[in-house]
Amino acid sequence: GAVVSQHPSRVICKSGTSVKIECRSLDFQATTMFWYRQFPKQSLMLMATSNEGSKATYEQGVEKDKFLINHASLTLSTLTVTSAHPEDSSFYICSAPQDGQETQYFGPGTRLLVL
């Protein structure tokens, strides 16, 4: 089946720094990717929809200047958490539907800890 990877799997950073998380579709093209955030013992909340070649679409309440999304190619989307703060600590998961297909494939997630 289709595989989505994320890098890094874990990252620890200091408050005020920026962190970039990559999401790659390894064996298929994805013009759209989704970024979710999951707090401990909670469900996944959609943050934004990443669109190849155009601006991302953010969900209500998500700061676009804080969570920068770039969909550089048909297989890569990046999420940059700018000026990270401890409250940004979370599990970030991306997903990608294979073009023309209904099923979304999820990455393994990135655990971010901001000290």
> What count of residues does the chain have?
115
Give the SS3 label for residue 52. coil
Classified as helix, coil or strand, 35 is: strand
Least separation in angstroms between residue 16's CB and other proteins is 26
Is residue 73 a contact residue for other proteins (CB under 8 A)?
Answer: no
Closest CA to 66 of 45, 91, 83: 83
Tell me, what amino acid is at 66?
Answer: K
Judged by CB under 8 A, the residue of 71, 75, 79, 109 near other proteins is 109
Complex with other proteins: residue 45 or 82, whichever CB lies closer? 45
Segment interacting with other proteins, rule: CB under 8 A, options 14-22, 69-77, 82-90, 104-112:
104-112
| DSSP state for residue 9 in the 8-state scheme | S
- Is 74 an interacting residue with respect to other proteins (CB under 8 A)? no
